[in-house]
Amino acid sequence: MTDDTRRGRLCLDSLTKAFTPQGREPVVAVDSVSLEVAPGEFITLLGPSGCGKTTTLRIVAGLEEASSGHVRLDGDTIDHLPPQRRPMAMVFQSYALFPHLSVSENIAYGLRTRRQDKDELDSALHIALISMNLVGLEHRSPHELSGGQQQRVALARALVVQPEVLLFDEPLSNLDAKLRGAMRAEIRRIQRRLGITSLYVTHDQDEAMTMSDRVVVMNKGRIEQAASPADIYFRPATVFVADFIGRANFIEVVPARVEAGSAAVTALGRDLTVAAHPEVRANAATYLMLRPETLSLTAAPEGGIGSVLRATFHGHSVDYEVETGAGTLAVTVPGPDPRCLLAEGTNVTVGIDPARAYALVKS
């Protein structure tokens, strides 16, 4: 839980940003985005390219001016403040280190521009070097560092000025997969320890799901859903969110009744009662969302409701594509038993766990 008395409460109030390319109609990059970030909360903006997430971050940082709307920090409007006067720090995708400065000089740059007392500067620099595991690298130039070391220098430079809000613009996209995983854990550990309000932009779903208190899924400049990673995955607000996050199967159904957040539907020959989005209505076209790992397969030598089109063995799991009367379904079987692998062409029945299915408005 966050402490409401702490500083760092960030509020985006109906932010809109329109660009007007020469000789063309205006393009709305950010469309009435409203979001409140609690002190110490880690929020990730996630979405496809061109969805407005980076533009939103740049407006918060003061690097872009909103066409309308406001950015507020701890109740004060900061739209008029230039980037250097906002109590924020930003970690960039390109690291943005000064090539002619050493590691120590890069980290201390923000403190020097703030005319920090020398003793306080030296103390803060020492703590930053230790916390970022950069001791022994103080006098190296950026080009002498690995990608992970450069990223730690960039993070140390942002943290050493003790910002109220920390902004991240796809900071790990230049790292290899193994190092990305390690840096995710490191960033989250430090952020939690310091309790700094953080706004993180990425196109990487794994980053968003593993690091965030809440994920904000954006599409065409608008927020589709802002919720915990679990709710985003299991209780998506829209078909777009369900389809964008992970993998999902959609079966068209018509609920016979809807009450108390549940819908009675028939799918793959079974009558089911499943959780339903608040906008789902009885006798209206609806999608039943089924994640591949929530389905099960059983060989049915005689009968069945489908057949295996393709089986892809990963070792830790098997991905099946199954042709059924409701369309082709993706099914993932984790920890497969080698004695029970299903060959292509096998007739099967498909089991549905109603506790992990979700009814969505068809859009």
Same domain, 51 and 127: yes
> What end-to-end distance do the CA atoms of the chain give, in Å?
35
Question: Is the pLDDT reported for residue 267 higher than 80?
Answer: yes
Q: Which residue has the higher pLDDT, 134 or 274?
A: 274
Per-residue pLDDT tens over the stretch 91-138: 888 778 889 999 988 888 877 777 777 777 888 888 888 878 888 898
Task: Judge contact between 266 and 273, C-beta under 8 A.
Answer: no
Per-residue pLDDT tens over the stretch 18-50: 988 777 888 899 999 999 999 999 999 999 999
- Assigned domain for 85 exists: yes
Question: Is the pLDDT reported for residue 262 higher than 70?
Answer: yes
Question: Is the pLDDT reported for residue 86 higher than 50?
Answer: yes
Same domain, 80 and 208: yes
Q: Would you place residue 71 in the very low, low, confident or very high pLDDT band (cuts 50, 70, 90)?
A: very high
Quick one: pLDDT at residue 2?
Answer: 44
CATH code of the domain containing 146: 3.40.50.300
Tokens of 302: 């005689």
Q: Would you place residue 1 in the very low, low, confident or very high pLDDT band (cuts 50, 70, 90)?
A: very low
Quick one: pLDDT at residue 171?
Answer: 86
φ, ψ dihedrals at 329, nearest 5°: -110, 140
Average pLDDT over residues 239-247: 95
Choose one of 210, 234, 258: the last residue of a domain. 234
- Assigned domain for 241 exists: no
- What residue has token string 């609920």? 255
Quick one: pLDDT at residue 159?
Answer: 85
Same domain, 258 and 332: yes
**Of 239, 175, 235, the residue nearest 206 (C-alpha):** 175
Instruction: State the Cα–Cα distance between residues 224 and 48, nearest whole angstrom.
Output: 12
- Give the strands of the sheet with 270-276, arranged side by side: 249-253, 286-290, 357-361, 270-276, 262-267, 257-259
Q: How many CB atoms lie within 10 A of CB 208?
A: 24
Most trustworthy range by pLDDT among 159-173, 275-289, 302-316: 275-289
Beta bridge partners of 218: 223
Question: Kind of pairing, strands 214-219 and 27-37?
Answer: unpaired
Which whole-number Å values give the CA distances from 314 to 291, 319, 351, in the listed order?
A: 18, 8, 21
Most trustworthy range by pLDDT among 52-66, 128-142, 297-311, 331-345: 52-66
Share of the chain above pLDDT 70, in %: 98
Range of the domain at 77: 10-234
SS in 3 state form for 89-143? EEECCCCCCCCCCCHHHHHHHHHHHCCCCHHHHHHHHHHHHHHCCCCCCCCCCHH
- Assigned domain for 242 exists: no
Task: Judge contact between 231 and 356, C-beta under 8 A.
Answer: no
DSSP, residue by residue, 251-273: EEE--SEEETTEEEEEETTEEEE
CATH code of the domain containing 307: 2.40.50.140
- Assigned domain for 291 exists: yes
- Assigned domain for 152 exists: yes
Q: Which amino acid is at 347?
A: N
- Assigned domain for 16 exists: yes
Which whole-number Å values give the CA distances from 260 to 230, 274, 276, in the listed order?
A: 21, 11, 9
DSSP, residue by residue, 289-348: EE-GGGEEEEE-SS--SEEEEEEEE-SSEEEEEEEETTEEEEEEEES--GGGPPPTT-EE
- Assigned domain for 240 exists: no
Question: Kind of pairing, strands 214-219 and 42-46?
Answer: parallel
Which class for 264: exposed (0-12), middle (13-18), buried (19 or more C-beta within 10 A)? Answer: middle
**Of 160, 156, 164, the residue nearest 186 (C-alpha):** 156
Same domain, 280 and 334: yes
Per-residue pLDDT tens over the stretch 185-214: 888 888 888 899 999 999 999 999 999 999
Q: How many CB atoms lie within 10 A of CB 239?
A: 18
Instruction: State the Cα–Cα distance between residues 206 and 228, nearest whole angstrom.
Output: 14
Instruction: State the Cα–Cα distance between residues 275 and 355, nearest whole angstrom.
Output: 7
The count of structural domains within the chain is: 2
Instruction: State the Cα–Cα distance between residues 49 and 237, nearest whole angstrom.
Output: 20
Q: Would you place residue 54 in the very low, low, confident or very high pLDDT band (cuts 50, 70, 90)?
A: very high
Per-residue pLDDT tens over the stretch 217-229: 999 999 999 999 9
User: 177 Cβ partners below 8 Å, 6+ apart?
Assistant: none
